Chains A and B, each alone.
Chain A
Amino acid sequence: MAAASSSSASPKTTMERRGIPGAQFVEDVETYLSQTGLDVNSALAFLQERLQQYKLVEMKLLAQQRDLQAKIPDIEKCLDVVATLQAKKGTGEALIADFEVSEGIYSRARIEDNDSVCLWLGANVMLEYSCEEATSLLKKNLENAKASLEVLIADLQFLRDQVTITQVTIARVYNWDVHQRRIHQTSASTAAKDS
């Protein structure tokens, strides 16, 4: 995966992907804190906020993914219908179909030999196409939808990686802080014992 290979080359640089900021990988907690000049609580707050932002973007992308995943079978169904109509064209007999007039109410239609179909393009627009044109348009839409879905899935994977990195960083900063406090406590109590 392209994103993974670039990240293995330079773990310190923060990659960005289509507007999603990359999470900076922390080699050493102490260096990270001194570099950013933040104390532990501010660092934790910053990381938590980043995490929330990531979650928001994740919800948006998931919604888009659901939409696309619903759209693709619809386009495939349309292609099926157009293919059936084209097949019937050769035989000269009409296609008889039962269709839904309203919820629960069906009526019978007799579809005569036809060279054209009408495609709903959205925004209250419907255009008439020849069967071949309709098939190629639908195929193109299907390919675009599938390609968009792939890009979206890659975005989601990148995003989830950033979330994981941020979660691990939060845990490490917190633990480093606990560790530091423990050290200070032990040295303070040793100093108290000595004096």
Chain B
Amino acid sequence: MQQGPGGSETEVTWEDQQNINKFGRLNNRFHELEDEIKTAKETNDNLEDASNELILTDEEVVRFQIGEVFAHVPKEEVETRIEEMKEVTSKNLEKLEEEKESVLAQMTELKTILYGKFKDSINLEED
């Protein structure tokens, strides 16, 4: 987001400045959220793959990573653990998506206000 040069006629009030600041903050949060959502999706996929592998394997004991070591854990316990982890990750993903929607909505609203006042003098798009 760039702040283009202000027109020589339009004055920038403190409220405008606060709006611009808020837009900047929301934009940053938006990018952070995109990264977090990408990571969460990857984790979700990995857990999916893991539980699929689990169904295919016929071993009774599975090496499940806890911390830095791989502990020998019975297959059922691993299944339960993976299910729990999948729950947590999908809830997290949902929460992140919701936040992203809200951030986008707020940004659109601010864009309307700021473009309304500054028209061409301000640029709020991604370069």
Contacts and interface: CB of A to CB of B under 8 A. Distances in A.
Interface residues of A, number: 34
Interface string A140-177: 00000000000000000100110011011001101110
Interface residues of B, number: 25
A103 interface: no
Given A164-B3, A171-B3, A175-B5, A11 B14 contact: yes
A39 interface: no
A4 interface: yes
Contacts of A95: 71-72
B55 to A, nearest CB: 22
A171 B6 contact: yes
Contacts of A165: 17, 21
A160 B8 contact: no
Interface of B: 3-8, 11-14, 17-18, 20-21, 24-25, 28, 63, 66-72
Interface of A: 4, 7-8, 11, 25, 27-28, 77-78, 80-81, 84, 95-100, 106, 109, 157, 160-161, 164-165, 167-168, 171-172, 174-176, 178-179
Q: Across chains A and B, which 4 residue pairs bring their CB atoms closest together, nearest first?
A: A179-B8, A81-B67, A11-B14, A96-B72
